[in-house]
Each structure stands twice: as structure tokens, then as C-alpha cells.
Amino acid sequence: MKYEFDRIVIGGGAAGLFAAGWAAKSGLRVLVLEKRERPARKILVTGKGRCNVTNHCSPQEFIAAVRRNPRFLMSAIYAMTPQDTMACFEELGVALKTERGNRVFPVSDRAMDIADALVRFARQGGVQIKQATVSELIQRDDAVVGVKTEAGEEFFAPLTILATGGKSYPGTGSDGSGYALAAAVGHTIIPPRPSLVPIICENTDKQFTTLMGLSLRNVTLNLIQKKNGKVIYSELGEMLFTHFGISGPLALTASSYMDVPTDYRITIDCKPGLTPEQLDARMLRDFEGSPNRAFGNALEALLPHSLIPVVVAKSGIPAERRVNQLTREERQKLGALIKAFPLTPQALRPIEEAVITAGGVSVKEIDPRTMRSKLVKGLAFAGGTPCAAVSPLEALAKAHEAFPGVVCAVMDARRGQYYNALFQNGERLCSDRAIDTDALLAELGSGPVLVCGDGAALLCERARRENLRLAPESSREQNALSVALCGYRRWSLGYAVTPDALSPVYLRKPQAEREREERMNKGENKE
């Protein structure tokens, strides 16, 4: 069949535009189908309108922070590290900054700049962006070959990338419609549920009416399993009290650890920088200044105003008690409450309010190296690891770029020939080829030559020429670093392609084919 495009991307969000942009950069014809009039709308609500682009950390640190199925992301993160992501956006004209917690934001604090950069990245490569809602994946011979829209239009490509997102923030277009498309071609859908979402807490004594709107900074939230008292999450940061419970960065992250919210309890350390002993000493100093002051009015230097009546009520100490009448045991009880202010989770807010969605297409059915479906050909999920073809001969020579002369990379091809290429100062002098000993020696001349590869020792032995120097045994053959450096160079120059675009290069015809040609030349072919 005739394909109109090389890639069709369903969904014009961050993942879809990024995948489309990289595919187009590899020279592919790409179509993005986005149901909303404007692509990348969800980006505008991320990071409170600022967009936390990535985290400035190593791939290992990034993966360690992933809550579920971190191993699945290893290939993707190492193919496009946080540093690569930052470099990409800076090349697109977006200046970035790193804030507390290694969070990366645009210097402008405008999520719009990130959204515009992604659209620009895609369109620079010639990506077509069309407003349309995909209703069906077109299958032929157990392979996805295209899509059909609600308007009845059909578009065809050998690979379709599903990048529709989860069910959070449906007003931005992320309504979970991609799950039905994946399920229709046989994929298992794990029931979606909210993650990174505010937490509904038990509202004893209408405490959240008092606390609503209170923002706490530099506090520690501890998430504790009720059954065994184990702390499964503890982090310093910011949180917010609402009319239903808690929100803010600490609460959102804690929610991702909660399968059944009622199985957990939460404590807030309002003074994480003080030990219990230091906190007690601090209270004594505060109280000594006004010994006859009522307890309920003596905590203003220690706690936010709206939190004081709630803490006083929970302490069980009469508010009218004078501070010089407080016992040591009462101060310790108060200190323990400040160090572990209790909250009881009841439920999570609806998935529509979540930052991300947990569940969805089972990762067991997706190849983590390519993000392609394991069940059906022609379908991938918001990805495709970019690859760069590297010549083994080029990788051999890479380790010897500093040599002041010609580097001759040779591999024994048998039958009196060598797979060979020449390099100088890191640049190629010829293409990869298969030639015999005499032809190769004639090209090498009389200048200094460093010979490397598994055919190096054999060539030097046969030639017995003073200008040929055998590379040290430790760097004579290929190594992973040289291959990686060659691959990175090709990738940075825009030569990356998708895995399916790669194919082997044969420098010499297979023996069976050579023998067949010899027979034909001799008139012995009886076909």
C-alpha cells in the first residue's frame, strides 16, 4: 500500500510533539493529529503555569525517583537524559534555570515558552499539525497501518505513535481516549487512577475550615503505614491546607505512594530544623518573655496564626492556662504535636484534578527499548528511542584521534582482504571498504601510520614496514566508550533515526552469492 506519511502521532501534547520533532529531524514525513485547536495545552497548567521541564540530575538519580516501573524507563532516560532535554530547549531559544530540589524551569517562569518551543521544534522539521479526533486505528494483516478520524478522514503510515496522555485535566484534551484505541487492538488497560493529586483528610472538629488557605514552607511531611508504623515517604518542602484536606508539592508526591488512602496516616513536622530538645528550649525562651501570658496567645512566634488554635485544641492544654504554669510534661506533649501534627487521609481527589494518571496501557506489552507495541505491528506509544548508525572501523579509530599521522582501522576479512578505513585528526580519508594487502599498503605511503583493529597485528606482520606502528593492545580493539562517542556525534549532527530505519552495510558480498556469480560468469549456471 501507499503510505502518505512515515509517522502518524495521535496527540499534540509534550510527548507527541517531542516524538514528532525528533522523527522529522531524522528526515521522516510526520503528521500530528490533535483534537484541540491549540496543541500543548496541558503544558500551560504544569508547575502552576511555570512548567517544571525536568530535573537537573543524573539518569540514575532520575530513575531512582520514579515511583512505578522505573526499569521500564531506563532505555528512554539514557537515550534522552535530563541534560539532553535541557540542551534541546536551550537550542530552541528557551533559557532555563535550576531551582531548589534541582527542578528546572524556564527563566521567564512561563509555561507558554515551553509549549511554543515544542510546536516550533515540530514545525521546523516539517511536521504537519492537524486538528482532528482519531476514532479508530486502521489494521491490515494484524498490523496498524493508519488512523481514521471522526470526520471520516483516513491517513496511512507504517508506524502510528499513540501519545494521547492519561485522564488528568480533561479540559486540556487529556481525557483517556487513547485507552480505547489501544484496547481495540488488543492491549490490556490497567484501570486508571489519580496520582500526584490532593489528599482528602478526616475533618475532625472542622479544623480545615480554620486552616484553609494556610501554606506551610520548610516543613516535613511523613507518610506512615498504619499496619506496621513504617515511614514510606518523608520529604522537606511546601504544602497547602484546603477545605477538604491538603495539597501542594508534598501532598501531591505523597499521594503517589497511596494505593488505599485509609491504610496510611500523615504527620507534619512543623519545625524540622529543631530536635525535640531544641524545640523545648525555644519554647522556654519564648515563654520567659511573657510568663503570665495565656498559653493560647503565646505561640505566635512559633507557629502560623491560623494553626495556633488547632494545635492548642489538639494539645488538650486549656488555652487560658498561663505559660509559667505549664508543666514539663505539657511542654513535651506540645513539642511532640508540633513535630508530628497528625492528619488522617480518607481519599484522593478525583482523577480530573490529578497531575498525572497511574495505570493505563500495561507496560508488559510495550518494548521499553523502542516504545513499540509487542502485540501489534505498526504501533508505538509516545516514543521510539533515537539511534545513530556507527561504523565499527570509525569506532576503532576514535580512540586514536590524537595520533600525529594516519590511523588505519583494519578488520581481518579473510581471503587475503581487510575491512578497512583511514582516518586523520578524527576525520575520514576514505569510506569503509574491503581491499587486499597490496592495495592497502599502496595507499598508506611512507608517513607515520597507527594500525588498530583485530587485523592490525596480521597487517603489520605481513607488511614489515617501519612506518607502521601497532596500536597498544589495551586500545587496539573496539570499546563501548568509542562507539558511544561516535554515536553521540552523529546524533548531535542530526543523523539519528528510528530503529526500524537501520540496516546492515555489507562491504563484501556473501560467499554464496560470490560463488553463484562465478558460476554464472563461467557459464555453469543451470537455472
> Does residue 329 lie within any of the structural domains?
yes
Same domain, 45 and 176: yes
> Does residue 286 lie within any of the structural domains?
yes
Mean pLDDT of the region 322-328:
90
Amino acid making up residue 451 = V
250 to 64, 156, 224: CA distances (angstroms): 18, 45, 14
Mean pLDDT of the region 88-105:
92
> Does residue 315 lie within any of the structural domains?
yes
Same domain, 211 and 173: no
Residue 141, pLDDT above cutoff 90 = no
Chain mean position to CA 40:
17
pLDDT recorded at residue 182: 94
Cell matching residue 8: 502518524
Give the count of alpha carbons within 13 A of 383, CB side only.
18
Query: What is the C-alpha separation between 449 and 402, in angstroms, rounded?
Result: 12
pLDDT recorded at residue 66: 85
Same domain, 424 and 320: no
CB atoms within 10 A of CB 494: 12
Mean pLDDT of the region 87-114:
93
CATH number assigned to the domain comprising residue 268:
1.10.8.100
Confidence tier at 289 by pLDDT (50, 70, 90) = confident
> Does residue 517 lie within any of the structural domains?
no
Query: What is the C-alpha separation between 527 and 85, in angstroms, rounded?
Result: 57
Residue 50, pLDDT above cutoff 50 = yes
Cell matching residue 116: 511554543
Same domain, 87 and 222: no
Query: What is the C-alpha separation between 5 and 185, in angstroms, rounded?
Result: 21
- Average pLDDT of the chain is 89
Q: What are residue 113's phi and psi, to 5 degrees?
A: -65, -35
Q: Under a CB-based contact definition with an 8 Å cutoff, are residues 105 and 82 in contact?
A: no
Same domain, 445 and 332: no
Residue 297, pLDDT above cutoff 70 = yes
CB atoms within 10 A of CB 173: 22
Same domain, 99 and 129: yes
How do strand 30-34 and strand 7-10 relate by DSSP bridges?
Answer: parallel
pLDDT recorded at residue 489: 76
Could you give the 3-state DSSP secondary structure of residue 417?
strand
CB atoms within 10 A of CB 521: 9
> Does residue 354 lie within any of the structural domains?
no
pLDDT recorded at residue 494: 56
pLDDT recorded at residue 527: 46
Q: Under a CB-based contact definition with an 8 Å cutoff, are residues 452 and 392 in contact?
A: no
> Does residue 149 lie within any of the structural domains?
yes
Chain mean position to CA 224:
28
Q: For 138-175, give the secondary structure using H, E and C.
A: EEECCEEEEEEECCCCEEECCEEEECCCCCCCHHHCCC
Same domain, 86 and 64: yes
> Does residue 522 lie within any of the structural domains?
no
Same domain, 426 and 334: no
Same domain, 159 and 248: no
Strands (E), 107-253: 128-131, 134-140, 143-149, 154-156, 159-162, 189-195, 199-201, 215-225, 231-241, 245-247
- Could you tell me the residue range of the domain that residue 62 belongs to? 7-193+359-380
Same domain, 16 and 137: yes
Higher pLDDT, 479 or 511: 479
Domain tally, the chain: 3
Of the ranges 55-64, 169-178, 308-317, 360-369, which one carries the lowest mean pLDDT score? 169-178
Contacts of range 213-217, beta carbons closer than 8 Å, 24 or more positions apart: 213/240, 213/241, 213/242, 213/306, 214/240, 214/241, 214/304, 214/306, 214/307, 215/239, 215/240, 215/241, 215/248, 216/240, 216/241, 216/248, 216/268, 216/270, 216/304
Higher pLDDT, 525 or 157: 157
Same domain, 302 and 367: no
In sequence order, what are the residues at sequence separation of 6 or more whose Cβ sits closer than 8 angstroms to the Cβ of residue 220?
234, 235, 236, 268, 269, 272
Tens digit of each residue's pLDDT (9 = 90 or more) over 374-410: 999 988 887 545 667 889 999 999 989 889 999 999 9
> Does residue 515 lie within any of the structural domains?
no
In sequence order, what are the residues at sequence separation of 6 or more whose Cβ sits closer than 8 angstroms to the Cβ of residue 31?
4, 5, 7, 8, 9, 127, 128, 130, 155, 157
CATH number assigned to the domain comprising residue 450:
3.30.420.40
Higher pLDDT, 305 or 415: 305
pLDDT recorded at residue 370: 86
CATH number assigned to the domain comprising residue 60:
3.50.50.60
Tens digit of each residue's pLDDT (9 = 90 or more) over 345-357: 999 999 888 888 8
Same domain, 284 and 246: yes
Q: For 5-19, give the secondary structure using H, E and C.
A: CCEEEECCCHHHHHH
